[in-house]
Amino acid sequence: MFLLQSRASCRLRESPEEGKVFTEGMLMNEERGVVPLLLVLHWKHGAGSPLPITPVNATCATRHPCHSNLMNQIRNQLAQLNGSANALFILYYTAQGEPFPNNLDKLCGPNVTDFPPFHANGTEKTRLVELYRIIAYLGASLGNITRDQKVLNPNALSLHSKLNATADIMRGLLSNVLCRLCNKYHVAHVDVAYGPDTSGKDVFQKKKLGCQLLGKYKQVIAVVAQAF
Amino acid sequence: MMNISLRLRRPSRMVDGKRMRMTSSFQRLLLTFILLYLMNQVNSQKRGAPRDLKCITNNLQVWDCSWKAPSGAGHGTIYEVCIESRSRSCYQSEKANAKIPALLPGDHEITINRLYDFGNPISKFTLNEKNVSLIPDTPEILNLSADFSTSTLHLKWNDRGSVFPRHLNVIWEVKILRKENTEIIKLVTHNTTVNGKDTVHHWSWASDMPLECTTHSVAIRCYVDDPHFSGRKEWSDWSPLKNISWSPDSQTKVFPQDKVILVGSDITFCCVTQEKVLSAQIGQTNCPLIHLDGENVAIKIHNISVSANSGTNVVFTTEDNIFGTVIFAGYPPDIPQKLNCETYDLKEIICTWNPGRPTALVGPRNTSYTLFESFSGKYVKFKRVEAPTNESYQLLFQMRPNQEIYNFTLNARNPLGRSESTILVNITEKVYPRIPTSIKVKDINSTAVILSWHLPGNFAKIKLLCQIEINKTNAVQELRNVTVRGVENSSYLVAVDQLNPYTVYTFRIRCSAETFWKWSKWSNEKKYLTTEAIPSKGPDTWREWSSDGKNLIIYWKPLPINEANGKILSYNVSCSLDEETQSLSEIPDPQHKAELQLDKNDYIISVVAKNSVGSSPPSKIASMEIPNDDLKVEQAVGMGNGILLTWNYDPSMTCDYVIKWCNSSRAEPCLMDWKKVPSNSTEAVIESDQFRPGVRYNFFLYGCRNQGYQLLRSIIGYIEELAPIVAPNFTVEDTSADSILVRWEDIPVEELRGFLRGYLFYFEKGERDTSKIRGLESGRSDIKVKNITDLSQKTLRIADLQGKTSYHLVLRAYTDGGMGPEKSMFVVTKENSVGLIIAILIPVAVAVIVGVVTSILCYRKREWIKETFYPDIPNPENCKALQFQKSVCEGNSALKTLEMNPCTPNNVEVLETRSAVPKIEDTEIISPVAERPEESSDAEPENHVVVSYCPPVIEEEIPNPGVDEAGGTSQVIYIDVQSMYQPQAKPEEEQESDPVGGAGYKPQMHLPITSTVEDLAADADLDKTAGYRPQANVNTWNLVSPDSPRSTDSNSEIVSFGSPCSINSRQFLIPPKDEDSPKSNGGGWSFTNFFQNKPND
């Protein structure tokens, strides 16, 4: 389902949603299909070292004016993600059945090797770039998890709902971070990497990778939310 | 040989006696040697010839015979094997075996000799097929492959059937080994036949353990089962082992992966790993490990239970990780139940079913359904991957043109199996139309409309049966069935007649095919108002003359909607006399009466109702009433909601009876309502929402002749009687010593609330505050009751009463509705005067007699009485101990010192008897006087009462030499009775207002010894002091000075007994033992006390 590329390069400018400021719950239905498509196009199997950001002199323009209070929006979205991450994690591993809830350290430990780094003490620009990579990574992985769980647990509606809600917020956050990078720092291009595709893996691997990813997400989003 | 040697040694001992026996033994020995020699010769000949001939065959056509070559035979020896039969055939062989064609059953002589070796004997054998062994060639595995996903081994080999001359049964045995070929886990046989040509055979075997778990090896051998072969048949050798192994990568993996199995199955999981596995568990259950090659381990699960949606997790735990797989245990699809195919529109067939038992498999493992139609060969598929499982199961199948019969087969399939269900339907009989929509109504006339609707679908080939539901207010619902021919454009219309004009109707429609299968759902309701028509009847009229008899008031009722047939706009009133009609006025609708000035001619009044379409037929009524002299007023009681009036049939009544009624308390003309009853009726039930229970109504029954009405009956009645709301007002007309005459008044009709049936009169002895007649109905014996049913009686005399006695009288009225409230009165009968006189005279006479007798006795015994009760009292002035410098009676203001000289009273008498216990009030009166002498002076002299004396008790004698020296007086402290038993603190006001302050004797207590001023004041009034000087033991008490404060306010008007000034005073002294008694009376005996003090209760 996801195309494999040796290295992913995401041209934010090309995104149909470029420059649009998202707030919580503002996402339109068609956006839900576009973002995964973009992620598909930039799929990279396994760890991918992000490429450097766009040179400063690169042109950067957003299609829509950015919200004046963008950083607050970003902070709120991060807080929202941070607030719901643990519940999503619990909902996920509970839906996977035993022995997941009782072996979280080995089955759901945040052992995601190629997860984009984040340095809380960096400059705002660096942090925003790193946040962009993290959210892009998480968004793609969340798409995989949502797809897998819809097949594996078609009746776990609350899990699906929470996964979708989280993905929605992430898309909004991604757009806001883009706006901020573009407007203030003139960054139009951030190389991103994505986690492993689970479509070809066996069910247990899907469950385990999803659980590890959500465990990592819960851990990272707390740090990121704190940093902003 | 030993035997021989022994025999050789023994002859020397038996030479003499046994010569003959020695000769025979020798002969035997010789014969033995000869025999041994001969045998050796024979054996030597045999060792030189082929021996031990054995024959086997592997194809039943050639026997491979072999023998043991003679010892002397070397390389290059050629054997000739000959089969001695009719046609002798020989075969030469350089080896010790020879292939000969299979021989027929039976013995065959075989000779084998070495060619070119003439001295050697020829070996002869008898060879039979029974001695030949059939041992097939070792089979060879052509191919061994594995399907890891299904854990199945596929084996392929050649049976080499061409070598066998005929059809034969061949048994193949396959063995499968694991654990590096040390454990045979499967040994199976497989039967085939050979038919003279080589055939490749396939055999598959599904392993209970995933093939990835360990190396599997397979070998094969065979056994030819030829029933015609009489020799020994043996298994071939095992073929070389062929191995199947999975080449693991470096990652640890658990097998099988994502497998779907039947609930209750046994299954083996293995973990292919380089690490040491510590434990394994399925769900939450730990399982024992089965060690395989290397670090690989397996677990075996028996009777696996059904999985959750996300499958059952099987995990293997290593030191720092968990590896696992997911298994989906479920069920094969159940046979689809309640398969039903129908059509909404004859365009599309919808088939629905119930999946039956849940499979517990979801997502890609969920059951897929295929609906196959056998006549057309078309099918549609149903597959859900992510949809919730509670969705209805249905498939749509497009109808084929000109096909009415459909044979559907619904196939259900999942990874564990399949099932199917079939149905054969004539689709024109399974029409379930959709909801009719777009209901429209169009007028035809006031009683008929056209109803049209839209019913989606192509029903051109069938007829539709539709049901029209017609509702109108306050009417029974009506259903009309109509059959319409189906159309392609889905528009239908029908005419609906037999409706009422100007009526709101609600229509709704549902349809089905004429060959009924199901009704469609009801359409939405459509309201419609039919058009107006002329009123069908004239209004119901009545007339009343005004109270002055000059005006006739015409009343009419509004027409009911079903008779008005439209909105009534106005009414035309006209009157006619002798064919001459005069239209009087047009009254607009809301008004339903008209007042006409008429003379006393008998007019016919007509009333006509008009709506927008036209006028109603006139309603006529005569203005004058037909007189009736024989009229009585009757009574009637209703049934709660109405009243039933009956009358006799009167054939002379040609038009409707009229019953009118009104509230009896209303003024004339009184008309609440009226009701017309057909002339052939003899009864009518009058009902009205205006009727109220407990209200009296007048009902008038009119008969009708030629539009003229005659009053037939006048009835007063109640719809329901209630108890009176007030009590009858009654008064006492007359009272004597033994009777009371009571009169009461009528209760107003409005408050009676029913027909009065009587009064109940109760009476009993009792006073106003103490007597209450309770439980009048309980039949108390002391209550007398009189039931007065004669309604004309307005008085009642109650006799046989007691004189001067209070009686409680109660009167209440009652109707059939119950008892009214009661009214009560207390009356005291007059006194009986004769008795009273007797009661007075007798005590007076007795008292006079007693007084006279007492006077006589007293007179005669006056001296004794004087000595006994009134002895002479010694003069205290004669006592030196009490000698003052001047007599206090003389009003000397100077203080007198009490000289404590011995004093012998003239005569002191002490009574030992306990005095009457005084009231506490008496003592309390005294106390404040003693303590507050200055306040005592303020007391009103008129309020002083005589108080008794209470002998003082000396609390303490305080020697006061200084004072004695200064004043020459000794201090004696008195205490009054009150102080002896807890004097009550009284409010100051009470003390001030106490009328006894300063009256009579005042016990001296806590007297201010040096109160000179007071003393002076006291001296001033000394001559007025009338207080008693306490006489007691002079050793224990001292006389308070006469100028004590108490004495100062003594008024001369105060009546005091026993004053020290009065030598005639005489007091009874109360013994000291009574001092502790709080009730001890401080008062002395006197006639005044005798009359004034209340006796102790």
pLDDT per position as a tens digit, B243-276: 888 876 778 888 888 889 999 999 999 998 888 8
Judged on CB neighbours under 10 Å (0-12, 13-18, 19+), B272 is buried
SS3 readout for B682-726: CEEEEECCCCCCCCEEEEEEEEEECCEEEEEEEEEEECCCCCCCC
pLDDT per position as a tens digit, B825-850: 888 888 877 777 888 889 899 999 99
- CA-nearest residue to B326 within chain A is A204
Residues B56 and B101 in one domain: yes
Reported confidence tier of residue B118, pLDDT bands at 50, 70, 90: low
Residues B787 and B802 in one domain: yes
Instruction: Determine the distance in angstroms separating the CA of B422 from the nearest CA of chain A, rounded to an integer.
Output: 29
Does residue B126 register a pLDDT over 90?
no
pLDDT per position as a tens digit, B547-605: 888 888 899 999 888 889 999 999 999 988 877 777 777 888 888 888 888 887 888 89
Residue type, B139: P
Place of tokens 């069908």: B536
Q: At a CB cut-off of 8 Å and minimum separation 6, what does B334 contact? A: B355, B356, B357, B359, B412, B419
For residue B754, the tally of other CB atoms under 10 A from its CB is 24
Directed axis angle between helix A70-95 and helix A157-185, to 10°? 150
DSSP string, B521-569: PPPPPEEEEPPP---SSPPPEEEEE-TTSSEEEEEEPPPPHHHH-S-EE
Q: Choose the closest CB to A203 out of B284, B322, B326.
A: B326
- CA-nearest residue to A160 within chain B is B386
Contact criterion met (CB < 8 Å) for A99 and B387: no
Q: Choose the closest CB to A154 out of B312, B317, B386.
A: B386
DSSP string, B737-791: SS-EEEEE-PPPHHHH-S-EEEEEEEEEE--TTT-----GGG--TT-EEEEE--T
Position A5 in a domain: no
Mark B1043-1076 as b/e (b = at least 16 C-beta within 10 Å): bbbbbbbbbeebebbbbbbeeebbbbbbeeebbe
ipTM value for the complex: 0.77
State which residues form the domain around A192. 67-227
- Which of B310, B359, B384, B385 is the best mutation test for A, with the most CBs of A within 10 A? B310
Task: Provide, as residue numbers in chain B, all residues whose Cβ is less than 8 Å from the Cβ of A107.
Answer: 315, 322
Does residue B955 register a pLDDT over 50?
no
Does residue B31 register a pLDDT over 80?
no
Tell me the percentage of chain B whose pLDDT exceeds 70: 72
Contact criterion met (CB < 8 Å) for A99 and B315: yes
- CA-nearest residue to B319 within chain A is A106
Residues B524 and B542 in one domain: no
Q: Choose the closest CB to B258 out of A103, A153, A203.
A: A203
Does residue B86 register a pLDDT over 70?
no
Position B19 in a domain: no
The strand pairing partners of B744, in sequence order, are B730
Which two structure tokens, joined as six digits, stand for B768?
């106003």
Position A22 in a domain: no
Average pLDDT, chain B: 76
Kindly state the average pLDDT of the residues B61-76: 76
Instruction: Determine the distance in angstroms separating the CA of B144 from the nearest CA of chain A, rounded to an integer.
Output: 27
φ, ψ for residue B532 (rounded to 5)?
A: -80, 160
Tell me the percentage of chain B whose pLDDT exceeds 90: 19
CB distance A176 to A74 below 8 Å: yes
Q: Which of B324, B307, B410 is nearest to B362 (CA)?
A: B307
CATH at residue A164:
1.20.1250.10
Residues B632 and B1051: their CA atoms lie apart, in Å, by 93
Reported confidence tier of residue B212, pLDDT bands at 50, 70, 90: confident
pLDDT per position as a tens digit, B763-799: 888 877 665 555 565 566 778 888 899 888 889 888 8
Residues B563 and B860: their CA atoms lie apart, in Å, by 123
Task: Provide, as residue numbers in chain A, all residues whose Cβ is less than 8 Å from the Cβ of B363.
Answer: 151-152, 154
Residues B411 and B293 in one domain: no
Position A44 in a domain: no
Q: How many domains are contained in chain A?
A: 1
CB distance B239 to B172 below 8 Å: no
The domain boundary, picked from B91, B107, B133, lies at B133
pLDDT per position as a tens digit, B998-1025: 344 444 444 444 344 444 444 444 444 4
- CA-nearest residue to A155 within chain B is B388
Task: Provide, as residue numbers in chain A, all residues whose Cβ is less than 8 Å from the Cβ of B358.
Answer: none
Position A12 in a domain: no
Does residue B480 register a pLDDT over 90?
yes
Instruction: Determine the distance in angstroms separating the CA of B277 from the nearest CA of chain A, rounded to an integer.
Output: 14
Kindly state the average pLDDT of the residues B157-183: 84
Contact criterion met (CB < 8 Å) for A154 and B389: yes
DSSP string, B309-358: TT-EEEEEEESS-EEEEEEEEE-PPPPPEEEEEEESSSSEEEEEEE--S-
Kindly state the average pLDDT of the residues B29-49: 63
- For Cα atoms B507, B513, B517, give the angle at the middle one, nearest 5 degrees: 105
Task: Provide, as residue numbers in chain B, all residues whose Cβ is less than 8 Å from the Cβ of A99.
Answer: 281, 283-284, 313, 315, 322
Q: Choose the closest CB to B283 out of A99, A106, A208.
A: A99
Contact criterion met (CB < 8 Å) for B320 and A150: no
CB distance B923 to B976 below 8 Å: yes
Which two structure tokens, joined as six digits, stand for B775?
């439980």
Position A109 in a domain: yes
Kindly state the average pLDDT of the residues B127-145: 87
Lowest-confidence segment of A76-80, B535-539, B544-548, B811-815 by average pLDDT: B544-548
Position A41 in a domain: no
Task: Provide, as residue numbers in chain B, all residues whose Cβ is less than 8 Å from the Cβ of A208.
Answer: 322, 324
Q: Choose the closest CB to B281 out of A95, A96, A99.
A: A99
- Which of A92, A98, A111, A164 is the best mutation test for B, with the most CBs of B within 10 A? A98
Residues B536 and B616: their CA atoms lie apart, in Å, by 6
pLDDT per position as a tens digit, B927-948: 333 334 344 334 344 444 444 4
Instruction: Determine the distance in angstroms separating the CA of A207 from the nearest CA of chain B, rounded to an integer.
Output: 9
Contact criterion met (CB < 8 Å) for A204 and B308: no
Residues B261 and B237 in one domain: no
List chain A residues with pLDDT less than 70: 1-64
Residues B90 and B95: their CA atoms lie apart, in Å, by 15
Contact criterion met (CB < 8 Å) for A97 and B321: no
Residues B846 and B763 in one domain: yes
Position A90 in a domain: yes
Q: Choose the closest CB to B313 out of A99, A153, A157.
A: A99
- Which of B313, B327, B361 is the best mutation test for A, with the most CBs of A within 10 A? B313
pLDDT of residue B878: 64
Judged on CB neighbours under 10 Å (0-12, 13-18, 19+), B1011 is middle
pLDDT per position as a tens digit, B312-348: 999 999 888 899 999 999 999 999 989 999 999 888 9
Residues B658 and B683 in one domain: yes
Instruction: Determine the distance in angstroms separating the CA of A36 from the nearest CA of chain B, rounded to an integer.
Output: 18
State which residues form the domain around B148. 138-244
Reported confidence tier of residue B412, pLDDT bands at 50, 70, 90: very high
Q: At a CB cut-off of 8 Å and minimum separation 6, what does B28 contact? A: none
Task: Provide, as residue numbers in chain B, all residues whose Cβ is less than 8 Å from the Cβ of A155.
Answer: 309, 362, 388-389
Position B1014 in a domain: no
Judged on CB neighbours under 10 Å (0-12, 13-18, 19+), A8 is buried
Does residue B157 register a pLDDT over 70?
yes
Lowest-confidence segment of B236-245, B857-866, B1080-1089 by average pLDDT: B1080-1089
Q: Choose the closest CB to B309 out of A98, A107, A155.
A: A155
B587: enclosing H helix or E strand: strand B580-588
Residues B727 and B848 in one domain: yes
Task: Provide, as residue numbers in chain B, all residues whose Cβ is less than 8 Å from the Cβ of A215.
Answer: none
Position A133 in a domain: yes
Residues B303 and B854: their CA atoms lie apart, in Å, by 132
Instruction: Determine the distance in angstroms separating the CA of A154 from the nearest CA of chain B, rounded to an integer.
Output: 5
How distant is the alpha carbon of residue B362 from its chain centre? 39
Residues B925 and B935: their CA atoms lie apart, in Å, by 13
Based on its alpha-carbon atoms, the radius of gyration of chain B, rounded to whole angstroms, reads 75
Q: How many domains are contained in chain B?
A: 8
Contact criterion met (CB < 8 Å) for B310 and A103: no
Residues B176 and B264 in one domain: no
The strand pairing partners of B369, in sequence order, are B382, B412
Q: Which of B29, B100, B24, B95 is nearest to B64 (CA)?
A: B100
Provide the phi-psi class of B862: left if phi over 0, else alpha when psi is between -120 and 50, else beta.
alpha
pLDDT per position as a tens digit, B611-662: 998 999 998 888 888 887 777 788 888 887 888 888 888 888 888 889 988 8
Residues B432 and B516: their CA atoms lie apart, in Å, by 9
Position B40 in a domain: no
pLDDT of residue B214: 85
Does residue B964 register a pLDDT over 70?
no
Position B1047 in a domain: no
Task: Provide, as residue numbers in chain B, all residues whose Cβ is less than 8 Å from the Cβ of A153.
Answer: 309-310, 362
The domain boundary, picked from B792, B827, B852, lies at B852
The domain boundary, picked from B796, B827, B852, lies at B852
Residues B314 and B272: their CA atoms lie apart, in Å, by 14
CATH at residue B384:
2.60.40.10
Residues B507 and B424 in one domain: no
The model scores a pTM over 0.95: no
Q: Which of B969, B915, B853, B961 is nearest to B1086 (CA)?
A: B915
How distant is the alpha carbon of residue B640 from its chain centre? 38
Residues B551 and B661 in one domain: no
Residue B157 exposure: Cα atoms within 13 Å on the Cβ side: 26
Size of interface A-B (CB pairs under 8 A): 79
Strand ranges, E, within B4-115: 51-57, 62-68, 79-84, 89-93, 97-101, 108-114
pLDDT of residue B876: 63
The strand pairing partners of B813, in sequence order, are B759
